[in-house]
Amino acid sequence: MIRRWNPDTLAAPIGTYSHLAHVPADHELVVVSGQVGVLPDGELAGADAQAQGRAVFANIERLLEAAGASPAQLVRVFSMVSGTEHLPGYRAALRETFVRWYPEGDWPAQSLIVVAALATPEILVEVEAMIAIPR
């Protein structure tokens, strides 16, 4: 079982993440390439970061299912947002997804950076992830 925790020796996380996530030896790591806010038909989910963020997490949920996993096996999330003006919308999509996926607040490890741009100007959010699947 994946263990996530926050040691008492440092400040609590400032968001929806755990400081540490331990993957036991009997798991395989699966890397999820950066997902952007496109729908299954390839169309952009919307022009705002919240719509794109929702689509990103829907895509990650589909990939988890394809790998035989669930959000419980999500170990790490690395988010990139193109501009600080898009942070509130992305964070809203992240929070609504994580509250649904992790009602007990057992968040995966997570990092978020703001970048000048992503692959195209229309893409506002990109998220990479790591999954640990029991062997």
2-19 tens-digit pLDDT? 999 999 999 999 888 999
57's CB contacts (< 8 A; 6+ apart) are 93, 94, 97, 127
Q: Would you say domain 27-134 falls under CATH 3.30.1330.40?
A: yes
Domain ranges for the chain: 27-134
Of the pLDDT bands very low, low, confident and very high (cuts 50, 70, 90), residue 55 is very high
Instruction: Please give the pLDDT value at position 134.
Output: 92
Of 29, 27, 35, residue with least CA distance to 62: 35
Point out which residues pair with 127 in neighbouring strands.
35, 79
Quote the CA–CA distance of 125 and 71 in Å, as a whole number.
Answer: 19
Instruction: Give the predicted TM-score (pTM) of the model.
Output: 0.92
Which DSSP helix (H) or strand (E) runs through 93? helix 87-101
pLDDT beyond 90 at 93: yes
Task: Give dist(CA 104, CA 35) in Å, integer.
Answer: 25
Give CA–CA dist 107/97, Å, rounded.
Answer: 11
> What does the mean pLDDT of the chain come to?
96
Predicted local confidence at residue 1, as pLDDT: 86
**pLDDT bracket for residue 37 (50, 70, 90):** very high
